[in-house]
Amino acid sequence: MKTFVSRFKRVGRRVGTGLGLLKPRDVDLYPGSNVGDRVHLRGVVLGGNNSISHDTSITGKVAIGYASTIGHNCVLVGEITIGRYCQVAPYAAAYATNHSTSCLSTYVNKRLFNRELQRHNRIKPVEVGSDVWIGHGAVILPGVTIGNGAVIGASSVVTKPVPAFAIAVGNPARVVGWRFPKEIIALVQELAWWEYGPEELRKIKEVFFLDFVNDVPGTCEVLSKAIVTLKKPC
Ligand SMILES: CC(C)(COP(=O)(O)OP(=O)(O)OC[C@H]1O[C@@H](n2cnc3c(N)ncnc32)[C@H](O)[C@@H]1OP(=O)(O)O)[C@@H](O)C(=O)NCCC(=O)NCCS
């Protein structure tokens, strides 16, 4: 987690109004990013060029990778790591903490013993890879890991790890399919296009416009070429 977070730039620009705990000095921490109205951010580290839409709350240790976008009315409570080029649809939530269910009470609010009972909270970090699409209203529970390229269906409740490039839906979320056949998944993982910025990705722009499932005989060759193009030094 530490290594991952340290790769992020603490920078930003354009912010909305009514930002809960965002202090004026914090505004400089998010250059290149858009933050909507009534967004509540505390402890978030952005990779740059992010968008966080209105009425979203992100607290605790949360790291959001380059170009990832968070829809409106989302709730993210860290420790959470989200990779690059992810899209989180409106009303989605991810929590890395459970209240203890084995103590006298699950109540940890400051109104009883001034939050001292929070020491029993159990933090299980949530880790989301890159190019992950999280559907409207999905809930990601503590300790869940979601691999690169995965899709989480609308309103799903994710309780278990979701492998890379799986399509997982339902409550509890189950893998109902895969975005691509196995050999293509392996090549896309090798390509790891999400590690690059838009400028470098222009070199393989045409690959983004292909449909890997329906109309590309020779997809493997196309991807193999893209790997060479993207990885070769300038
Ligand atoms: C996950 C999703 C992408 C799958 O789309 P798809 O690949 O076209 O899948 P299908 O519609 O063929 O569904 C496959 C199966 O999963 C089920 N299913 C699909 N999405 C589901 C969901 N969100 N919850 C529960 N079951 C779902 C379907 O009923 C179907 O079941 P069956 O095989 O028993 O008939 C899509 O259903 C979804 O949830 N999209 C999110 C939309 C959204 O939130 N958009 C926000 C824009 S940012």
Residue 72 appears among annotated catalytic residues: no
Model pLDDT for residues 57-92, shown as the tens digit of each residue: 999 999 999 999 999 999 999 999 999 999 999 999
What pLDDT score was predicted for residue 4? 39
- DSSP letters, 57-105, are EEEEEEEE-TT-EE-TT-EEESSEEE-SS-EE-TT-EEE-EE--SSSS-
Given this model, what pLDDT does residue 28 score?
Answer: 45
Check pocket membership of 154 for ligand 1, CB cut-off 6 A.
Answer: yes
**Cα–Cα distance for residue pair 169/128, rounded to 1 Å:** 16
For residue 216, the model assigns a pLDDT of 67
Alpha carbon of 81 to ligand 1 centroid (Å):
25
Ranges in the chain, pLDDT < 50? 1-28
**Residue 106 DSSP class:** -
Q: Looking at 40, 54, 72, 99, which residue is catalytic?
A: 99
Contact 28, 46 (CB under 8 A): no
pLDDT of residue 231: 87
Specify the pLDDT at position 3: 39
Tokens matching residue 123: 């933090």
Pocket probe mutation, ligand 1, options 133, 136, 175, 176, max atoms within 8 Å of Cβ: 176
Rounded distance between C-alpha atoms, residue 147 and residue 171, angstroms: 19
Q: Whose CA is nearest to atom 4 of ligand 1?
A: 153
Tell me what pLDDT residue 32 has.
Answer: 78
174 within ligand 1 shell (Cβ under 6 A): no
DSSP 141: -
- The answer to whether the CB of 156 is under 6 A from ligand 1 is yes
- The model's pTM is 0.90
Q: For 141-169, what is each residue's pLDDT tens digit? A: 999 999 999 999 999 999 999 999 999 99
> 231 C-alpha to center of ligand 1: Å?
34
> What pLDDT is recorded for position 145?
98
